[in-house]
Structures are given as structure tokens and as C-alpha cells.
């Protein structure tokens, strides 16, 4: 009996990889997913008075729009590096 053979496999390994691998955003992706509409901009500006927090909210929102997932248990320094690498 293999490890976890009692589990149902709903996704293929490729689907799991596609779902959880950090997406490399193209210029068009960034324009689509990280552009805030008026209500999103108002929310970010009223909930976050610190630029670092604003960047975190915008990144989470954009990543959620793109993938349907939120990051969790990831430090902001890593997020900032990801944002910078996505912009290059």
C-alpha cells in the first residue's frame, strides 16, 4: 500500500502545480489584475495608512483576482521580492 493511497486524487500533479506555483505576471497581467477600481482603491486607502500595508493589500487582491487564492504564512519581505520580480 502506498502512502496516502486512501485519498481520492481530484487533481493531476500538473493541475496541482498550476494551481499553487507562483504566477509570473506579464505586463498585461499586471495591468489587468493589479489595476484597482474606485471601490478597491477606496478600501485600500481607508484600511491601510502605511505604504507597506497598502502594497500587501494590492498584491493580495491582484493575486486573488488572478488565481482565486490568497497567500498565507508568507512574510512581507518575500511578497515584496515577488512583486519586484513580477515587475521586471
pTM for this model (two decimals): 0.59
Residue of 86, 39, 37 lying closest to 59 (CA atoms)? 86
For residue 60, give the DSSP letter.
H
Per-residue pLDDT of 46-64, as tens digits, reads 877 777 778 878 888 888 8
Residue 87 pLDDT grade (very low, low, confident, very high; cuts 50, 70, 90): low
Q: What is the pLDDT of residue 80?
A: 64
More confident residue, 26 or 87: 26
Residue 54 makes CB contacts below 8 A (sequence gap 6+) with 44, 45, 48
Amino acid at each position: 500500500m502506498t502512502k496516502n493511497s486512501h485519498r481520492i486524487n481530484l487533481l493531476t500533479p500538473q493541475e496541482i502545480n498550476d494551481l499553487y506555483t507562483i504566477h509570473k505576471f506579464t505586463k498585461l497581467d499586471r495591468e489587468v489584475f493589479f489595476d484597482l477600481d474606485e471601490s478597491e482603491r477606496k478600501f485600500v486607502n481607508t484600511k491601510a495608512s502605511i505604504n507597506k500595508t497598502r502594497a500587501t493589500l494590492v498584491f493580495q487582491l491582484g493575486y486573488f483576482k488572478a488565481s482565486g487564492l490568497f497567500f498565507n504564512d508568507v512574510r512581507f519581505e518575500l511578497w515584496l521580492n515577488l512583486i519586484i520580480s513580477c515587475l521586471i
